[in-house]
Amino acid sequence: MSVREEALDDRTLRAMQQLAQVVWSLDRSILNSGASVGELAWTWGTGRHIDATRWRVRVWYESSQSVAWGWIFPPELLRVSEERWEMGSTNLLWQTHPERPHLFGEVIEWFEASGEPGVTRHVATRAANSDATRRLGDSGYVHDPGAPWFHLLSRTLDDLDAPQLPPGLVLKTAIGVEPDRAVQAHRAAWAPSEFSVESLNGVRHTWPYRDDLSVFVEAPNGELVASALVWLDEINRTAELEPVGTDSRYRGQGLGRAVSLFGLRQAHLAGAKEGIVSCRGDENYPIPQRLYRSVGFHDLTQDLVFAKPTSVHCR
């Protein structure tokens, strides 16, 4: 066993994604929020040019294969609801191999010795992972029912509806789409947003990004007014939506549903058998969940979020 705290780069991210693929194949009920192939790719791709120096990552390896990892995020602004943003806590993303659950204890110890002094720490685990829940309780963490939490949803791709759009709007892939148009589509859907050409370049250079699985709705004036990005895990044959967004001026017309269906149909053509998506499950931000259920997704698993206030910084 070797343990390395290292700067996050493409090689380290791939090791973390490979563990996600193993966990999905062995016990999908304990694949953590934020720890899937697509979520890892999106977070790293969008933030590598601005946040990499603020992140801390530690990876546990056996025979060069990752069997556990932790990723610490310092406090940042988080969307609490459609209208409200708040400064968050120090947050830990993590994953362990299903056959190495004891390593979560070491991940927690590392997290405890890191982070900002006097800031509440948050850690999420899947509800099915009773071992992780017990270890968090033993370390002084308590369930925080008011914290934002996530569902993991799933559906087969055999019987996808055909996407329907209002007259004049069309569906297209990122093939041939100019970067500034793609950036503007994201910024319009996720305002306020710092997404930039550098962010887009980071995403496009992160495995397993594909132009044919980055899809848009185009308005008659040439604007891209909705988008979806699908990440294909060829080993598990899953297609993960991350993210999906619609320009606020065009909401309420079914564009999010249409672009999601189009992206999933593209992934099905590429070999995917199952679609998955992670979305907020709490009542403060119900819109994404309503969208994905309209696409045919159903519950697979969900988070429990634990918190621990801290006033002493240990190292």
Rounded distance between C-alpha atoms, residue 286 and residue 288, angstroms: 6
Rounded distance between C-alpha atoms, residue 90 and residue 103, angstroms: 20
pLDDT at 38 over 90: yes
Q: Is 91 a domain residue?
A: yes
- Phi–psi pair at 188, nearest 5 degrees: -70, -30
b/e 258-269 (16+ beta carbons within 10 angstroms → b): bbbbbbbbbbbe
Q: Are residues 122 and 174 in the same domain?
A: no
Q: How confident is the model at residue 312 (pLDDT cuts 50, 70, 90)?
A: very low
Q: Is 288 a domain residue?
A: no
Q: How far is CA 291 from the centre of its chain?
A: 17
Q: Are residues 264 and 166 in the same domain?
A: yes
Cα Rg for the chain, rounded, in angstroms? 19
CATH, residue 35: 3.40.630.30
Using a cut of 0.95, tell me whether the model's pTM lies above it. no
Rounded distance between C-alpha atoms, residue 171 and residue 216, angstroms: 6
Q: Are residues 126 and 162 in the same domain?
A: no
Q: Is 290 a domain residue?
A: no
Cα distances from 83 to residues 146, 240, 241, 285, in angstroms, run 17, 26, 23, 9
**Which three-class secondary structure string do you get for 28-49?**
HHHCCCCCCHHHHHHHHHHHCC
Per 3-state DSSP, the chain is made up of helix, strand and coil in percentages (nearest 5) of: 30, 30, 40
Q: Are residues 50 and 121 in the same domain?
A: yes
Q: Are residues 39 and 104 in the same domain?
A: yes
Q: Are residues 144 and 17 in the same domain?
A: yes
Q: Are residues 69 and 87 in the same domain?
A: yes
The pLDDT, as a whole number, for residue 74 is 84
Range of the domain at 165: 158-272
pLDDT at 310 over 70: no
Q: Is 296 a domain residue?
A: no
Q: Are residues 141 and 166 in the same domain?
A: no
Total domain count, the chain: 2
Q: Are residues 63 and 178 in the same domain?
A: no
The pLDDT, as a whole number, for residue 69 is 98
Q: How confident is the model at residue 83 (pLDDT cuts 50, 70, 90)?
A: low
User: What count of other Cβ atoms lies within 10 Å of the Cβ of residue 63?
Assistant: 7
Rounded distance between C-alpha atoms, residue 23 and residue 31, angstroms: 6
Q: Is 216 a domain residue?
A: yes
Q: Is 313 a domain residue?
A: no
Q: Are residues 138 and 59 in the same domain?
A: yes
Rounded distance between C-alpha atoms, residue 203 and residue 209, angstroms: 7
Q: What is the chain's mean pLDDT, rounded? A: 93
Of 64 and 86, the one with more pLDDT: 64
The pLDDT, as a whole number, for residue 314 is 40
The pLDDT, as a whole number, for residue 52 is 79
Q: Are residues 172 and 105 in the same domain?
A: no
**Cβ atoms of residues 200 and 182 within 8 Å:** yes
Q: Is 282 a domain residue?
A: no
Q: How confident is the model at residue 76 (pLDDT cuts 50, 70, 90)?
A: low
Of 31 and 55, the one with more pLDDT: 31
Rounded distance between C-alpha atoms, residue 189 and residue 98, angstroms: 37
Q: Is 71 a domain residue?
A: yes
Q: Are residues 22 and 145 in the same domain?
A: yes
Residue pointed to by tokens 């990723």: 71
The pLDDT, as a whole number, for residue 108 is 97
pLDDT at 282 over 50: yes
Tell me the sheet residues that pair with 60.
3, 68
The pLDDT, as a whole number, for residue 313 is 43
Q: How confident is the model at residue 117 (pLDDT cuts 50, 70, 90)?
A: low
The pLDDT, as a whole number, for residue 116 is 65
Q: How confident is the model at residue 87 (pLDDT cuts 50, 70, 90)?
A: very low
The pLDDT, as a whole number, for residue 54 is 84
Rounded distance between C-alpha atoms, residue 266 and residue 79, angstroms: 30
**Surface-to-core class of residue 202, CB atoms within 10 Å of its CB (0-12 exposed, 13-18 middle, 19+ buried):** buried
pLDDT at 290 over 80: yes
